[in-house]
Structure 1
């Protein structure tokens, strides 16, 4: 996954909670890393200005404390980078490298910079470099899989610093500053144990403590698990744990030996829950996820997760929700254990329970926003209390904090290939919840990814109707992002899919969208032709309101082409259709557009009469914004006719309407929003 990117403007590193104990050991490494920041690079020595940010590499095995060292380094130098600290994790919990476009998008979000939905990796990395130009910021790129990932995200400014964490060298990045980690020194290792066990047990038998630190190979993750294991057993001697570790496979890594010993000491039900946390999306766990995976109650899961945190198996996330993170170094161990102890059918059942629980939470998240509907209120009350949200604000906060895990759950469900029905339900509810709480515009980047996943499932399962819907949604997002050619291709594919199953909604919607794309590209003749095809479909099905709107779109295309006669005829047809359907607001807008075409065609007297009629219909529709806009249009026409006094009256009426409606400071208050513009 890409971790939730955190921007910190203070001296505390991303991810460090207030009150956390100070960093332990690694004094020499920190000194060398800080010196590397100041040391002249190869470009400087050659007399050239450094073209990119300085890159420091902290290399080491998982569990070596490499991420903690990077965070401590960032904390110490953060005051020299006033534009903050940005952090991204570049490897998913299952070991899959995070796509560059996802990492770049998250970093742009942390900078409060726009990242167009569906943009390619090159566009997003270019946008990231542009956003970082002229800034002094630190990028902490954790668990980088290879040099290409890091290279794509490097700022092209020497004023930024990049701290990369990886298991090995980043060959291919010039002038990289490596720092390879081994174990902690003996003194620091013993002190880390003492932090968890208490100083008395270490003081009583210091040689045993040194032996235990040696058995843990000085690895901070192994020492932490060992210390927590001892803390949970006040009567156990430090020497006893050292003996047990020596009795384990001596060829295994220290972390593996300590983890398996701690796992074996758990009750059977708790051990199984711990193993199943390997399935948690994005490595993020909450009581609902754990209870669904293990098939127990939410209260039981909450208590066990607290125990796991005390034992060092989980890290508590600084969040208003009870939320935990599986340490990255433990993911490989959990995957090995779950493959060894659990049958494939049991794992698939656990995944299905987790996805079903997530679907129900998303349903509750959306339902809390629909309490005006008696049916929605009744459905909400029928849900179990553990699944309900007390307020819409609580639901929105849950959605925001759970977003990385929800998106990861959708990706994993689609990648599984055997849970497509649940995956489709999950993505449907996720789209609805985001639309309800975030809005389709703000959530566009996430929605683009979700609809792409829906398309993948629809193509795999040969579901033309869902394929058409996904293509239409993706086309709309592409069009909104300015990729009109891409949108046109998607709309054409959606039309083919809709025709394949004779879906009238999909075919009509696709035809209209194809016309809209051609109009955006300036091909008004093709636009009018496609709008006309869609109109025939609507009329055949008796959909008069949609037909009236299409008459307006055809009229707009003819207006752009300068064919006033055709435009007037189609606007009159649109007005008649809106009158038949009883939509006073749409009728007023269409009359306003008809008046504009009449004036362009050299008929100002007709335009004035039409405009006055439009004002009356806008008044009936109780749309003050439209009323004001039409009064201003009438004023322009009166000035054209040589009647400035009447024009002043209409402008005064527009100002009074805006003042009465508190719209006088709205820059778009006097814009006539036509049907085509709304679409």
Structure 2
């Protein structure tokens, strides 16, 4: 997923103060490579020298907004206008939908953000944002979008939930709320409709290139080019007012060359800002000199020219990082990712990214929740993330295809995955106690790969979560980096568990286990296939999907047997027994427990065998097969006695008494329970003794001896107070 950066006409601060043209010594040279050699426009950039510094360009700190006043008024008027449901005399059941339609680069996302900022005070439940098209034009999927929106609302969806369940839960979470839902870069109505909440007090703002046919009562606002004053304002803010003021006619001509598109105007203004000695006429001439492909539609020519002009003048290091940034997971690139992709130092990558952002080619992404707590130490958590604007991504990918060999692209991906694995190891180590082996190992890493605190590591993991999951998905889909992607998924799984815990990380872990299964099946790795299926089945079972869990456990059993892995096979057999017990199919549960028991006995695992004797006995008891149940519990008691576990033997004998009582033999049950009580007292296990005394009290009540029952119950309750923790 990606946000539109220069699409929206964001402007730097300081309009009219000349700040955009200040500090010429720090500007990027217009036509020099990193090694100082001249570069002609359109010349392919070569690989950068790793230590070659790139001149720094000031990055606008606070973006602004220009033009679109008429469109804003129309949007506000549409919100105030009565809907079709209101006109028909009934309250609307769904949220109102506003559509801002326009081509990428027309300023549609910026207009939406400006509108949301003006409306935020009227919606106390806040603004929810989702981008419905990925950086490569792919659709992330409605299920993932709904899951992310639920997480933003503080809801925790069940792992492995399907699209219908997630969207229904999203609608339920928004019911009764007054919130703004911003759906950016929507590919069509089919991507929007499932996310629309049944909440008439919510407002949905959608940005799309075309209409949302099929969604009723959509309020469209179609964007064209900016008007002349707004175009000149963009150029002035980026290039400084002086050159624009002294040559207003040429500035208006440049605006026409840019088609009034904010994205093209920002690139053009930033190009001029980086060249204090260039005139507005030079800018116009440069735009007109860019050759156009014959199949390029007229509406795409202004942005193509502005992008090619800006990209052709970049130093080699910056040009290559710009091209390779299209490989960044989820479109999120920081100094670490750029350094790994381009094979340069982190310091050089950080400087280049700042320069590209100043030129309008990248957009800084505000850190979620601000900077990590603690002192501002230089560590891996503090690198500013950037995104390639959605309108520029296809153009940058075209440069990648034209100037990078497939082998070099694959090598860049491999370096990026390797760097990500090392960062994950460092992040996980910060969840360990100080002085632990993992922390000592992390202390030996380069400073750029270390985190200053556990809070900083957790902040990095949280802010990069989507990109890390996307990196795993892209690596698996690539198919040529299966060794690296397996290491990445293993490191990401351990890191999520260390920082978030099993329950909070379960939805993400479910997706990772599915990716592991995909790789294992592709490479014929039966042992890993069994492990992935077991993990997925466990999560399915905890999410209330026992039938699906049973199917996965059966698959895990087959894979474990083919891999000759008795540990995984035993776990699958026992889990199948537990799954059928949950389904209430006690006979099949007992059968599967019995198979697991045979395997444990064959391997001499007596402690596990004792536990399985008990589980089999419990299943038989639930099926009212009393003789088989008693036989299994007797076997469990014998095994615990051989193991020297008197407390376990007492529990098993007590369960025998429970079976006898359920079978209608209370006198027999009382004798057996007293035997178990004597064993528990010898074991000095107060908790087991307390439970047995309470069971004896219930049996005595049924046998008509309330006095003895009361004595046992009083002693049992006192023991429970002294031993409150369950074994």
Q: Note whether the superposition's TM-score is higher than 0.5.
A: yes
Q: Does 1:56 align with 2:98?
A: yes
In the other structure, the counterpart of 2:462 is: 400
What secondary structure sits across from 2:504 in the alignment? Answer: coil
Relative to 1, partners in 2 of residues 1:538 and 1:233: Cα closer, same or farther, differing over 3 Å?
same
What secondary structure sits across from 2:597 in the alignment? Answer: helix
Paired residues for 1:198-217 under 5 Å? 198-217=240-259
Please point out which of 170, 173, 185 is paired with 1:128. 170
Conserved in 2, the CA contact under 8 Å of 1:494 and 1:507?
yes
Relative to 1, partners in 2 of residues 1:207 and 1:594: Cα closer, same or farther, differing over 3 Å?
farther
Give the superposition deviation at 1:234.
2.4
In the other structure, the counterpart of 2:418 is: 356
Give the superposition deviation at 1:568.
4.2
Relative to 1, partners in 2 of residues 1:573 and 1:199: Cα closer, same or farther, differing over 3 Å?
farther
Q: Does 1:220 align with 2:268?
A: no
What secondary structure sits across from 1:162 in the alignment? Answer: strand
Please point out which of 284, 297, 307 is paired with 2:355. 307
In the other structure, the counterpart of 2:313 is: 265
- Which string of whole-angstrom CA distances, capped at 9 and with x for unpartnered residues, describes residues 256-279 of structure 1? 211221111111122111110000
In the other structure, the counterpart of 2:285 is: 243
Paired residues for 1:518-667 under 5 Å? 518-575=580-637, 577=639, 593=655, 596-597=658-659, 600=662, 602=666, 603-611=669-677, 613-614=679-680, 631=690, 634-635=693-694, 637-638=696-697, 640-641=699-700, 642=706, 643=708, 644-658=710-724
Q: In structure 1, what is the Cα distance between the partners aligned to 2:648 and 2:355?
A: 61
Q: Does 1:140 align with 2:206?
A: no
Q: Does 1:446 align with 2:508?
A: yes
In the other structure, the counterpart of 1:417 is: 479
Paired residues for 1:317-328 under 5 Å? 317-319=365-367, 320=371, 321-322=382-383, 323-328=385-390
Conserved in 2, the CA contact under 8 Å of 1:2 and 1:98?
no
Q: In structure 1, what is the Cα distance between the partners aligned to 2:575 and 2:408?
A: 46
What secondary structure sits across from 1:253 in the alignment? Answer: helix
Relative to 1, partners in 2 of residues 1:401 and 1:634: Cα closer, same or farther, differing over 3 Å?
farther
Please point out which of 105, 108, 114 is paired with 2:156. 114
| Higher alpha-carbon deviation: 214-223 or 45-54 | 45-54
| Higher alpha-carbon deviation: 37-46 or 182-191 | 37-46
Conserved in 1, the CA contact under 8 Å of 2:541 and 2:579?
yes
What secondary structure sits across from 2:451 in the alignment? Answer: coil
- Which string of whole-angstrom CA distances, capped at 9 and with x for unpartnered residues, describes residues 173-199 of structure 1? 122111111121111111122222233
In the other structure, the counterpart of 2:325 is: 277
Q: Does 1:86 align with 2:124?
A: no
- Which string of whole-angstrom CA distances, capped at 9 and with x for unpartnered residues, describes residues 91-123 of structure 1? 110001121111111111112223111111111
Q: Does 1:157 align with 2:229?
A: no
In the other structure, the counterpart of 1:388 is: 450
In the other structure, the counterpart of 1:663 is: none
Relative to 1, partners in 2 of residues 1:308 and 1:615: Cα closer, same or farther, differing over 3 Å?
farther
Q: In structure 1, what is the Cα distance between the partners aligned to 2:650 and 2:334?
A: 53
The number of residues matched between the two structures is: 642
| Higher alpha-carbon deviation: 280-289 or 300-309 | 300-309
Q: Choose between structure 1 and 2 for higher RCO, CA contacts under 8 A separated by at least 6 residues.
A: 2
Conserved in 1, the CA contact under 8 Å of 2:651 and 2:676?
no
Conserved in 2, the CA contact under 8 Å of 1:92 and 1:282?
yes
What secondary structure sits across from 1:139 in the alignment? Answer: strand
Q: In structure 1, what is the Cα distance between the partners aligned to 2:531 and 2:390?
A: 38
Relative to 1, partners in 2 of residues 1:362 and 1:218: Cα closer, same or farther, differing over 3 Å?
same
Please point out which of 519, 529, 541 is paired with 1:479. 541
Q: In structure 2, what is the Cα distance between the partners aligned to 1:76 and 1:205?
A: 35
Q: In structure 2, what is the Cα distance between the partners aligned to 1:399 and 1:406?
A: 8
**TM-score (normalizing by structure 1):** 0.88
Please point out which of 65, 89, 109 is paired with 1:67. 109
Conserved in 2, the CA contact under 8 Å of 1:592 and 1:630?
no
Relative to 1, partners in 2 of residues 1:575 and 1:221: Cα closer, same or farther, differing over 3 Å?
farther
- Which string of whole-angstrom CA distances, capped at 9 and with x for unpartnered residues, describes residues 389-409 of structure 1? 333333222211111000100
Paired residues for 1:330-345 under 5 Å? 330-345=392-407
Relative to 1, partners in 2 of residues 1:613 and 1:585: Cα closer, same or farther, differing over 3 Å?
closer
In the other structure, the counterpart of 1:286 is: 334
Give the superposition deviation at 1:479.
0.9
Q: In structure 2, what is the Cα distance between the partners aligned to 1:634 and 1:582?
A: 23
What secondary structure sits across from 1:164 in the alignment? Answer: strand
In the other structure, the counterpart of 1:506 is: 568
- Which string of whole-angstrom CA distances, capped at 9 and with x for unpartnered residues, describes residues 531-573 of structure 1? 1111111221222333233223212212322344443443454
Structure 2 residue runs of 5 or longer lacking an equivalent are: 5-59, 293-297, 372-381, 701-705
Relative to 1, partners in 2 of residues 1:27 and 1:290: Cα closer, same or farther, differing over 3 Å?
same
Give the superposition deviation at 1:457.
1.7
Give the superposition deviation at 1:128.
1.4
In the other structure, the counterpart of 1:42 is: 84
**TM-score (normalizing by structure 2):** 0.82
Relative to 1, partners in 2 of residues 1:199 and 1:372: Cα closer, same or farther, differing over 3 Å?
closer
What secondary structure sits across from 2:201 in the alignment? Answer: coil
Please point out which of 223, 228, 243 is paired with 1:181. 223
Conserved in 2, the CA contact under 8 Å of 1:3 and 1:404?
no
- Which string of whole-angstrom CA distances, capped at 9 and with x for unpartnered residues, describes residues 464-507 of structure 1? 22222221111111111111111111111222222223222222
Structure 1 residue runs of 5 or longer lacking an equivalent are: 5-17, 620-626, 659-668, 674-679
Higher alpha-carbon Rg = 2
Q: In structure 2, what is the Cα distance between the partners aligned to 1:207 and 1:615?
A: 100
Q: In structure 2, what is the Cα distance between the partners aligned to 1:230 and 1:585?
A: 83
In the other structure, the counterpart of 2:23 is: none
Conserved in 1, the CA contact under 8 Å of 2:533 and 2:552?
yes
Give the superposition deviation at 1:147.
0.8
Please point out which of 468, 477, 483 is paired with 2:530. 468
| Higher alpha-carbon deviation: 190-199 or 644-653 | 644-653
| Higher alpha-carbon deviation: 41-50 or 418-427 | 41-50
Relative to 1, partners in 2 of residues 1:595 and 1:20: Cα closer, same or farther, differing over 3 Å?
farther
Q: In structure 2, what is the Cα distance between the partners aligned to 1:472 and 1:579?
A: 32
| Higher alpha-carbon deviation: 182-191 or 35-44 | 35-44
Relative to 1, partners in 2 of residues 1:225 and 1:567: Cα closer, same or farther, differing over 3 Å?
same
In the other structure, the counterpart of 1:515 is: 577
Give the superposition deviation at 1:433.
1.4
Q: In structure 2, what is the Cα distance between the partners aligned to 1:246 and 1:633?
A: 92
In the other structure, the counterpart of 2:375 is: none
